[in-house]
Amino acid sequence: MKHKTTKLLLIIIAVIFSTGFSFKARHFNQLQQGRTPQDTFKNKMVTVDSLGNLKNVKLLVYRKKAHASYYADKFNGRRTSSGEKFDNNKYTAAHRKFPFGTKLKVTNETNGKWVIVKVTDRGPFIKGREIDLSKRAFMDIASHKGNGAVIVTIELVVD
């Protein structure tokens, strides 16, 4: 009986890891190798004009219903993980996995407002948060300026 239970438990663990964990590992390995993982993202073509509005750029949906927050003012002027000086008035973000310099479109799911940010730092280090935005980027998409977090859709901008 013990042998059958152990075998069943190993099968359940294998199924869990093969569906969730390996998906994430494959997805991030492809991003780090400079490839766009077509099988793990939904594709959408858009455009960006000379004013910075989107035109002729491919967007790959990374995550929907992600929690986004913003940097506190005390981090203004400090060095980020990438070595750049942090400026709360620029359109930058912190993400745990995306390579530095990656451009992301972050859309507030409540009101549809969006910004394009560049990943310059690691974080957030609060459980349940997916991305930290600079204060300017956050305030541009926030419905209520008093909120410290919003639900967003994160899309990878592919040139």
Cβ-proximal residues to 94 (8 Å cutoff; 6+ apart), any chain = 71, 80, 81, 119, 120, 121, 122, 123, 124, 131, 132
Specify whether 14 is located in the same domain as 65: no
Asked if 153 and 63 count as a contact pair (C-beta separation under 8 A), the reply is: yes
How far is it, in rounded angstroms, from Cα 136 to Cα 113? Answer: 13
Specify whether 31 is located in the same domain as 56: no
Specify whether 58 is located in the same domain as 126: yes
Q: Which domain holds residue 22?
A: 1-37
Specify whether 84 is located in the same domain as 151: yes
Q: What is the pLDDT of residues 64-102, one digit of tens each?
A: 999 999 988 889 999 999 999 999 999 999 999 999 999
What residues does 141 pair with on adjacent strands? Answer: none
Q: What is the pLDDT of residues 43-72, one digit of tens each?
A: 454 554 545 556 678 899 999 999 999 988
How far is it, in rounded angstroms, from Cα 119 to Cα 97? Answer: 10
Instruction: Provide, rounded to the nearest whole percent, the portion of the chain with pLDDT above 70.
Output: 65
Pure H helices in 1-151: 2-16, 22-32, 135-141
How far is it, in rounded angstroms, from Cα 112 to Cα 147? Answer: 16
Specify whether 101 is located in the same domain as 131: yes
- Hunting for tokens 């972050």 — which residue is that? 106
Could you give the number of structural domains in the chain? 2
